[in-house]
Amino acid sequence: MGAINTFLNAIKTDQSLIPATLTRDALHRGRRVTPNLGFGSITVGELLKAIQLMPPQSLLLGQCQDGLPFLMDLRKPEIGAILVSSEKGAGKTHQLQVLADSAVRLNSPSDLQIGILTFKPNEWHTWKTKPSYQRYLQGIYAWYDPWASGMIQSLVDLAEARRQGNRLGPNVLVILDDLNFIEELDYEAQVNLHWLLAYGSCSRIWIVGAINAHRATDFRYWVNPFRTRIIGRVSSDKNLEILALRQGSGAKSFDAGEFCIFTREGWQNYRLPLIGD
């Protein structure tokens, strides 16, 4: 048994119709995990301590039913932009915070920086006050803040420079909480952000957005560019079809904090850990 679970994207022939297919492989075979990791009752820190050798450029999704961490490999641009969606209260923001918390534990500030756009900056208050987070933070802005457009423009400039081979530097993780407020941005910023959703990962700019499932129909223009889909509880068949693009997720019966993602072996379920050590 390998020490962790991970997924990688495979290139599809028609990427406009289905999300990138994922695979759940064991890495670092032969290494052991800490025994007795209780499913659903563990923190991000405890879960990551179970890994003897931290894989580079990774983020934690959650804990699989076998007790192992489920990691996202950021060395594969085919992953593209990542959408987190569920009904209200099912854990969307918590999933984003698990990804962000794990990012600072698995990467150095020179390897990864984080920018956050949200309608509720107070939900990310800890990131402004905790020194270990501050070293990674490029900024936390409300959607309606004029500085939000400036951050997006700087990311477009960085992406274009990297496409021309002019800059290296760290990966950038861009978290878009409350994606349904995206129209608070000015028109140019919306155009730039839509471009980043489609092409940012090719320049090591990773965008993770979260949207309430009931807004799926109204925001299909913004939902469509996301190539990787993380699904929590969604009771509407219509919304689930738009968000998951595949049947059989079982998301209608999920508890709060339970999510899934499609892999080559089918839908993989996992549970969110608690934030902290």
Burial class (CB in 10 A: 0-12, 13-18, 19+), 88: exposed
What is the Cα–Cα distance from 197 to 173, expressed in whole angstroms?
12
The residue with tokens 């952000």 is: 193
Please say whether the structural domain 4-271 has been given the CATH code 3.40.50.300: yes
Report the C-alpha gap between 172 and 185 in whole angstroms.
20
| CA separation for the pair 43, 273 (Å, rounded) | 5
The model's pLDDT over 95-138, given as tens digits with 9 standing for 90+, comes to 999 999 999 999 999 999 999 999 999 999 888 888 888 999 99
d(CA 150, CA 152): 5
Q: Write the CB contacts of 238 (distance below 8 Å, at least 6 apart in sequence).
A: 216, 217
Interatomic CA distance for residues 276 and 113, integer angstroms: 19
Which residue carries 């990774």 as its tokens?
58
Report whether pLDDT(28) > 50: no
Q: Which among 2, 22, 11 is positioned nearest to 229, based on CA atoms?
A: 22
Pairing of strands 171-176, 21-27: unpaired
Residue 15 vs residue 259, higher pLDDT = 259
Phi, psi torsion values for 225, nearest 5 degrees? -70, -15
Q: Check pLDDT > 70 for residue 26.
A: no
CA distance 277 to 93: 19
Residue spans of the domains in the chain: they are 4-271
Q: Kindly report the pTM of this predicted structure.
A: 0.86
